[in-house]
Structure 1
């Protein structure tokens, strides 16, 4: 029986190895795309980039879409996704949990390397500021982003809620989770009173649906967030990594198709891509540690010794980040 069990395990391991080898032999890579908008819109914008990448690196590249950010992170964790476009928070999860590594980031049309988390209301809303919204939250509906979204969740949770000692889950009459595009549309159509969304998604709405954008008024803007990173699995072959990086760093800048590529970048609201690494995630790690620190300090169930030990550990991690 043991021999049969061992044989079964061995066969399963061989099957996994064979499938990986087969994928490599077949020259196929999956590129994960986080769900900031509908899959249809995202595919429309990214597919030409992926098609060109397939030609340039000599490996077929498929788009990989999921209904939430976790689907892309888990896809990378289990080897179904080899690289992808992430937000900083989801990239941090991919790096920590899915053998990910940041290798580049997007660059905005004006050459800057960042974006913002925004809170919007309908244009004729009586609420003029985030303070107005917090004061009246018990009677309001609020749209927030995916839990793995930097601009849709992490930043507003820290800068709006944690710093004001507000629990969004209990503060609002109704709180709804959705992607950036859906939150903008819900505010514009007065389906919810206010919502969080990313500035780059708002830029795309302004370009594609200007009538919708005019129905939304911004009442809060976060500090600058580092531009969205591109992440690959660490175990990709070195020569494949070199080809991928060369493709992104040159896309829209050199080669016979540069003009066409630049036009495609404009649809994505980018001017190109720049080299980066895991250090770009440090500010997000600091925010996560600040959030954890606040929870520990307010936890009445911890003894003084437990609280001190946990806070000492967080302070050590924050100090290490400051040095890196």
Structure 2
């Protein structure tokens, strides 16, 4: 039987080990594409950040945009690759949180409206009246490019909610799924992240005889890396700036291609003020 002294010693050792254990830096990303692609792409990012930051870095996948925000709010993750809207929501929930970096493409992002060939819809400079009565799918309910901005422009053009413009409105869950649903004819029209569309077309994964782009939105700010405001308190002074530098310095072509981005540049919270204002107008933000 262990003596009281030995038990106390073991307890002290365990407590000391827990106290002295180095914190793990955990990040996630909104699930804007299928999970397999996300896991492959962000595990490579985790390896890169671990090398640059010299701390244990782990990527944790989430099932939805909302769960990415919840994980960030609850400190289950300290960094996230958010869309414009999800980033705005997350930063409002965690005091001091900062947008650190964005792709060079992200200040001028856009959404494509795609249509099945059976609709007879052709490329146009504006949203045509002939869209009315069609079936339409957004992406995720929390997506900037797949829901917020296309809904905003639909409301601007038709002066009513999408549910009154279309005969049926759905939410596919992600951009890859939106393309598949419109290509198959399950929905006649859909809104999709232009980068996901162009990557899928370049990879030969879209039947462009069955589905094509009919309109694109004006540009808007979108994706960004956002960090919690308490990183320096947990990982040491200057850690947040080190994370920002590591992200901006990410120049491996294979890493960048997986986003896809040509490079990363600094970002700031105020860059996403237009998204916050639009979200309020559409009713997706209080």
Q: Same fold (TM over 0.5)?
A: yes
Residues 248/214 of structure 1: CA separation in 2 closer, same or farther (3 Å cut)? farther
**Aligned CA distance change for structure 1 residues 180 and 48 (closer, same or farther; 3 Å):** same
State whether structure 2 residue 151 is matched by structure 1 residue 157. yes
Deviation at 1:221, TM superposition (A): 0.8
Query: Does residue 75 in structure 1 map to residue 37 in structure 2?
Result: no
Distance 1:242 1:25, change over 3 A: farther
Contact conserved, 1:121 with 1:127, CA < 8 A, in 2? Answer: yes
Report the RMSD for the aligned CA atoms in angstroms.
Answer: 2.4
Change (3 A) 1:24 1:89: farther
1:185–1:212 CA contact under 8 A, matched in 2 = no
Structure 1 CA distance, aligned partners of 2:245 and 2:198? 28
- Residue in 1 that maps onto 2:277: 286
Structure 2 residue 65 is matched with structure 1 residue 66: no
1:43: Cα distance to partner?
A: 1.5
Task: Report the counterpart of residue 216 of structure 1 in structure 2.
Answer: 211
In 2, the alpha carbon distance for the partners of 1:214 and 1:269 equals 25
Is residue 104 of structure 2 the alignment partner of residue 107 of structure 1?
yes
Shift of residue 23, structure 1, vs aligned partner: 9.5
Instruction: Report the 3-state secondary structure (helix = DSSP H, G, I; strand = E; otherwise coil) of the residue aligned with 1:65.
Output: coil
**How far is the alpha carbon of 1:54 from its aligned partner?**
0.9
Query: How far is 1:81 from its partner?
Result: 1.2
Give the TM-score normalised by structure 1.
0.73
Gaps of 5+ in 1: 1-17, 253-260, 293-313, 315-324
CA displacement at 1:242 relative to structure 2? 2.3
Alignment pair present for 1:270 and 2:261: yes
Deviation at 1:151, TM superposition (A): 1.1
Structure 1 residue aligned with 2:163, among 169, 174, 182?
169
Number of residue pairs the alignment of both structures matches: 260
User: Please, what TM-score do these two structures have when normalized by structure 2?
Assistant: 0.83
Q: Is the 8 A contact 1:205 1:212 kept in 2?
A: no
Residues 173 and 64 (structure 1), Cα distance of their counterparts in 2 relative to 1, 3 Å cut: same
1:75-94 aligned at under 5 Å gives the runs 75-94=71-90
Rounded Cα–Cα distance in structure 1 between residues aligned with 2:20 and 2:51: 16
**Kept in 2: contact 1:85–1:229 (CA 8 A):** yes
Aligned equivalents of 2:204, 2:137: Cα separation in 1 = 20
Distance in 2 (alpha carbons) for counterparts of 1:24 and 1:248: 28
Aligned residue number for residue 10 of structure 2: none
Deviation, 1:133, is 4.4
CA-to-aligned-CA distance 1:204-249 (integer Å, 9 cap, x gap): 2123234435532111211112241110001111432122112111
Instruction: Choose which of 189, 195, 199 in structure 1 pairs with 2:190.
Output: 195
The question of whether the paired residues in 2 share the 8 Å contact of 1:73 and 1:98 is answered with no
Matching residue of 2:225 = 230
CA contact (8 A) 2:183 2:211 kept: yes
Match of 2:114 in 1: 120
- Any idea what SS the aligned residue of 2:187 has? coil
Greater length-normalized contact order (CA 8 Å, ≥ 6 residues apart): 2
